[in-house]
Structures are given as structure tokens and as C-alpha cells.
């Protein structure tokens, strides 16, 4: 292994700033442009709490991944960790689910660019309609191809491009908060009885907004640092800090954006109540209504930069997941091939770009795709707490540069909250997610059975036994959304309402905890885990300017004292 390069061909060139900006760049995308409006239409002013709930939920999951990424810095970690702890079947299902969600994000970000660009080019979305025209669809495809082109130049070009773009696009939402804090004059919207008061749709409306409005979707970029850990210079030190820094900043930013959005809304836009609120370019239209033409111009410009930067970041991540699936030997070896000149995984990048284009066809608007992405991504996130729990049991003395304090509480809590978010998205979304994951698994299992020995990782009896909890969990979540309260999901949710609110929430929370402990108990030590731990130790020994005693908790400059401890 040479300096700055893994034996598998990827280049270790990303520093802490690059990793943080990869996460923040994926977080600050179309979510801030549309999320505040969609969330308030579902929860009213109480949607502010939705951002706090969603942000804290993702932060809990992120803390677990911080320990995993420090312990085992792997490219496409979401597909590697379950492989290490539960074998091939669970690893495939989680990796396939992650790829499905990741590859859809470039599509949704391209749609956001087109929707805002239609302000200047009406032919892209005639009459301001949310669905794009054929010309708009063509622009979406061109943008996906551009994302592929940038990433094909290598991770170093991606990192520097992404860091620069993220620094630029972080300025706009921050400036929007500051300007609207002073310019907004309808603060009475927060408690107006004319529109139902602070929480016109109750607690259920807030929880529904967390899963469906784009709140969780807006925070999902935190794992970019995990997926790119295999290309970081000092992953054990830098990845945990990148995760926590990106999510912490985003929680504050999004909560403030929701607050100023509600306070800036003209009364005329609320004439028919919060549920009927509809703006094609929310913050830009508010700026125009407040006679802030200069801000509106900047917002329309940023609406191209922000989503494009996020789409570029997720193009990188979806390719790393495919690379990891190839590295697990679930897919042909060609998915691990890299460009000899710059280390870019070209085959994985091309395959991911193709899937992104296919997503544009059934989901021609931002709002129709966001719920599916949220549910599928959170589904893949919940394996993190389980894998971390297994590794705590099977490798208690392994080197953990970042050791999460209170894992016994945070791990189960993160899994439970993730399960609730999936439930809140409702039957109409969740059945598509389960069918896509199980359908892909069936196709893969058939191909696996027919493949020659040694070409791919075979499904064995131990792998099947270790995945029983996951199949049970999927069936339970599907049944819960079908028979549960009709308060969650779309107006056409089709839930039977046999378990009434809020008892449905209690049932999902408690039963999901049982699946968490079943999942942890089903894990096992594997030879691949031992090999990965040894590689991580060798990486730490050769990493420049890295002290083994250093940890996130002991670094006061990180501002996260008490979250973790150094070492095992």
C-alpha cells in the first residue's frame, strides 16, 4: 500500500474540511428551498419542532456512524458494516436499499434546479406547474450527466469542487435567515387563530411532516463523510468531527429558516389555511412580496447552485455504495475497477447515473420523490446502531478512536426513532420501498445461486439465519403502516386505522426495540471483520499528524465534550 492510496485503487486525499463540506454540501440542497413550505403545509408553525425532532433523530444515528467510521473507515460503509456483522444477505439488502435512495437524490436535485430555473425559462415548467415539460426533463438529464462528468475526474477534483461550492451555497440560507429576521412583519402567523393556531394539525401533523415534507430528507447528507471515509487522509480523526459538525450546523439553520418563513408569509397566502399553502419558489417569492428584489434574484441563482452541489455529492456516494457491494463480492468485480489516472470508480459512477435518470421518469417533481427517498434512506440508516451493537459485543477491545458514550441508550433510541420515521411516511410510500428492496434481493439471490463458486460471495446458512430479524422487521413495518393510524402519510394513504393514534406510535416504538435487540443478537464475528480491523490499525499507524490518544471528546475545539471517549 502506498502513501495516499488504498490497495483497492481509491485515493486517500480528502481532509477534514473536505469531509465536512461533503456532508454539509449534501445537506444544504433542495431541502432548504422547499422543505420549509411543505413542512408548514403539513404542520403549520409547529413544523419548527419537526425540524428539531428530525435533526436530533439524524444526529443520534450520526453519532453511531461516527463510532463505526472511526473504527472501520470503509468506502461505502453502509454496505460494508452489515456485511461485517451479519453476512451477505443483510449486507446486500442494506447496500441495495442505500443505492436505491442515493441514486435518486441527483434526480430530485436536478428537478429542484429545473423548477426554480423555470422562473426565467417558463418552457421548463409551463405556468409554474410542479411537473416539468419535455424541455425540463431534458435539462434534468443533462444535469445528471454533468454530475457524472465531475465525479469521473476523480475524488480530488470532486472534493475541491464540492468544498468551494458548499462554502458559497452555505452563505445564501444564512443570509436569508438574517434578512428575513428583520424584514418579516407577520409574526402573528405563528399563533394566529384564523389559521388554526400554532399547531393546526396537532402533534400528528408535526410527526407526519418529519417523514414526508422533506425534513428528514434535508438532513440525510450527513453520511457522505462515512461513505467517503475510504478516501480520507485521517478518517479515524476527521470523519466523526465532520458528521457532528455538519448535522449540528444544519439543525440550527433549518429551524431558523422555518421560523422566518412562517413569519414572512403574507396573510393572502394563508387565506385558505396552511394545508392549501403552495408556492413554486417559496423563499424567492417571499423576498419579492417583501420588496426585496435583490434577495429574490440571489435566491433564484442559488437555487441552481445548492441543489446542483448536493446532486454532485450524492453521485459520489451512490458510486461508493456500488463499489462497496463489489468489494463485498455481491456484484461483479468490474464495479470495483477504478481509473488508473485518478482513482475514479467509473463503472459504478456510470451505473449510478443511469439509475438517477430512470428515477426522473416516474417521479417528475420534487414533492413526489422526497417521501420515498426519506423512507428508503432512513431504512438503511437503522443498520448502523445494530452493527455498532454487534461490534461492541464481538470486538469489545477493538480500537475505537471515537467511542460513543451511552451507546446502550443511544443505539436503541436511534433505531426506534428511525423506525418511527419510516412509519410516519405511511403505507403509500413504504410498500414501494419494501417491494423495491425485496424485489432486488430476489433477483440478486437468483443470480447468486447460478454464479460460479469464487466469483461472488455466496449466501450461506449462517447469513440466512443472521438476516431473519430483518425480514421480520420489514414485514412488521409494512403491516404497521397498513393497519395503523390514518393520520400519517398522504391523503390517499389507505391505512386501515385499526390501531388508533397515539397507541400506534407506542406499538411501533416498543416492537421496533424488540427487533433491535434481535438484530444485535443475530450478529456474529466474521473473518472479513478481523481483516478490516487490521487494515484500520495499519492505516492509523501511517496517517500523518494523528495521535492514537486523540479523540473527539478530548478535543475541546470540536465543542463536543462528553459525546465520546478515546480508545477502546
Residue 2 pLDDT > 60:
no
| Cell 467510521 belongs to residue | 69
Distance CA 189, CA 310 (A): 32
- The pLDDT confidence band at residue 127, using thresholds 50, 70 and 90, is low
- Residue 189 near residue 44 (C-beta atoms within 8 A): no
- Residue 568 near residue 399 (C-beta atoms within 8 A): yes
- Residue 101 near residue 320 (C-beta atoms within 8 A): no
pTM: 0.77
Higher pLDDT: 491 or 77? It is: 77
Per DSSP, 72 falls in state S
Residue 391 CA to chain centroid, in angstroms? 23
Cell, residue 105: 437524490
Cα separation values, 120 from 114, 143, 280, 305, 395, Å = 10, 17, 13, 15, 57
Q: Determine the average pLDDT of the residues in 146-165.
A: 79
pLDDT tens, residue by residue, 264-297: 999 888 888 898 888 878 898 899 999 999 998 8
Least confident of 267-276, 449-458, 489-498: 489-498
- The pLDDT confidence band at residue 567, using thresholds 50, 70 and 90, is very low
pLDDT tens, residue by residue, 375-428: 677 788 888 999 999 999 999 988 887 788 889 999 999 999 889 888 877 777
- Residue 340's contacts (CB-CB under 8 Å, 6 or more residues apart) are none
Cell, residue 48: 419548527
The residue ranges of every structural domain in the chain are: 21-526
Cell, residue 30: 433542495
pLDDT at residue 447, as a whole number: 84
CATH code, 21-526: 1.20.1740.10
Question: Coil, helix or strand for 527?
Answer: helix
119: nearest Cα among 263, 288, 368, 369: 288
Higher pLDDT: 56 or 163? It is: 56
pLDDT tens, residue by residue, 305-342: 778 777 877 888 888 888 888 888 888 888 888 877 77
Distance CA 412, CA 209 (A): 23
Cα separation values, 98 from 314, 321, 377, Å = 11, 7, 6
- Residue 72 near residue 81 (C-beta atoms within 8 A): yes
Amino acid at each position: 500500500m502506498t502513501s495516499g492510496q488504498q490497495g483497492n485503487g481509491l485515493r486517500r486525499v480528502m481532509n477534514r474540511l473536505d469531509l465536512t463540506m461533503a456532508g454539509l454540501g449534501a445537506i444544504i440542497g433542495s431541502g432548504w428551498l422547499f422543505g420549509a413550505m411543505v413542512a408548514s403545509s403539513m404542520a403549520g408553525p409547529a413544523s419548527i419542532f419537526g425540524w428539531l425532532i428530525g435533526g436530533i433523530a439524524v444526529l443520534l444515528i450520526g453519532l453511531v456512524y461516527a463510532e463505526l467510521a472511526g473504527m472501520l473507515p470503509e468506502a461505502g460503509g453502509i454496505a460494508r458494516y452489515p456485511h461485517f456483522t451479519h453476512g451477505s444477505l443483510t449486507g446486500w439488502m442494506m447496500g441495495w436499499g442505500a443505492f436505491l435512495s442515493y441514486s435518486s437524490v441527483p434526480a430530485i436535485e436536478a428537478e429542484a434546479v429545473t423548477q426554480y430555473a423555470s422562473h426565467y425559462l417558463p418552457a421548463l415548467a409551463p405556468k409554474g406547474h410542479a411537473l416539468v415539460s419535455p424541455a425540463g426533463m431534458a435539462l434534468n438529464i443533462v444535469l445528471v450527466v454533468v454530475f457524472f462528468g465531475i465525479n469521473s475526474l476523480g475524488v480530488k477534483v470532486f472534493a475541491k469542487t464540492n468544498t468551494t461550492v458548499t462554502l458559497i451555497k452555505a452563505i445564501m440560507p444564512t443570509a436569508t435567515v438574517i434578512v428575513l429576521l428583520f424584514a418579516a412583519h407577520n409574526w402573528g402567523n405563528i399563533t394566529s387563530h384564523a389559521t388554526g393556531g400554532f399547531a393546526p394539525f396537532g402533534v400528528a401533523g408535526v410527526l407526519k411532516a418529519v417523514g414526508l415534507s422533506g425534513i428528514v430528507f434535508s438532513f440525510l447528507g450527513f453520511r457522505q463523510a462515512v461513505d467517503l471515509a475510504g478516501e480520507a487522509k485521517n478518517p479515524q480523526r476527521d470523519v466523526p468531527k465532520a458528521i457532528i459538525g455538519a448535522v449540528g450546523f444544519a439543525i440550527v439553520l433549518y429551524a431558523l429558516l422555518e421560523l422566518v418563513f412562517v413569519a414572512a408569509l403574507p396573510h393572502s397566502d394563508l387565506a385558505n389555511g396552511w394545508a392549501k399553502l403552495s408556492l413554486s419558489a417559496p423563499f424567492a417569492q417571499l423576498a419579492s412580496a417583501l420588496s426585496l428584489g435583490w434577495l429574490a434574484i440571489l435566491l433564484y441563482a442559488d437555487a441552481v447552485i445548492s441543489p446542483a452541489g448536493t446532486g454532485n455529492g450524492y453521485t459520489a456516494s451512490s458510486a461508493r455504495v456500488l463499489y462497496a457491494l463489489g468489494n463485498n463480492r455481491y456484484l461483479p468485480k468490474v464495479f470495483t475497477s477504478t481509473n488508473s489516472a485518478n482513482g475514479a470508480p467509473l463503472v459504478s459512477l456510470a451505473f449510478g447515473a443511469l439509475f438517477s435518470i430512470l428515477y426522473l421518469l416516474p417521479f417528475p417533481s420534487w414533492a413526489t420523490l422526497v417521501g420515498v427517498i426519506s423512507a428508503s434512506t432512513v431504512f438503511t440508516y437503522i443498520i448502523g446502531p445494530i452493527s455498532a451493537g454487534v461490534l461492541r459485543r464481538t470486538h469489545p477491545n477493538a480500537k475505537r478512536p471515537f467511542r460513543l458514550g451511552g451507546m446502550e441508550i443511544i443505539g436503541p433510541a436511534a433505531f426506534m426513532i428511525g423506525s418511527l420515521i419510516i412509519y410516519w411516511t405511511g403505507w403509500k410510500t413504504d410498500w414501494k420501498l419494501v417491494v423495491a428492496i425485496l424485489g432486488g434481493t430476489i433477483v440478486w439471490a437468483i443470480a447468486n445461486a447460478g454464479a460460479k463458486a469464487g466469483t461472488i460471495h455466496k449466501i450461506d446458512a449462517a447469513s440466512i439465519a443472521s438476516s431473519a430479524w430483518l425480514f421480520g422487521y420489514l414485514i412488521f413495518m409494512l403491516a404497521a403502516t397498513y393497519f395503523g393510524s390514518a393520520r400519517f402519510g398522504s391523503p390517499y394513504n389507505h391505512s386501515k386505522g385499526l390501531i388508533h393514534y397515539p397507541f400506534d406510535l407506542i406499538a411501533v416504538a416498543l416492537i421496533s426495540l424488540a427487533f433491535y435487540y434481535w438484530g444485535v443478537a443475530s450478529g456474529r464475528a466474521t473473518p472479513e471483520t478481523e481483516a478490516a480491523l487490521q487494515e484500520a490499525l495499519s492505516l492509523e499507524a501511517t496517517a500523518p499528524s494523528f495521535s492514537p490518544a486523540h479523540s473527539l471528546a478530548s478535543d475541546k475545539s470540536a465543542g463536543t465534550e462528553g459525546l465520546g471517549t478515546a480508545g477502546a
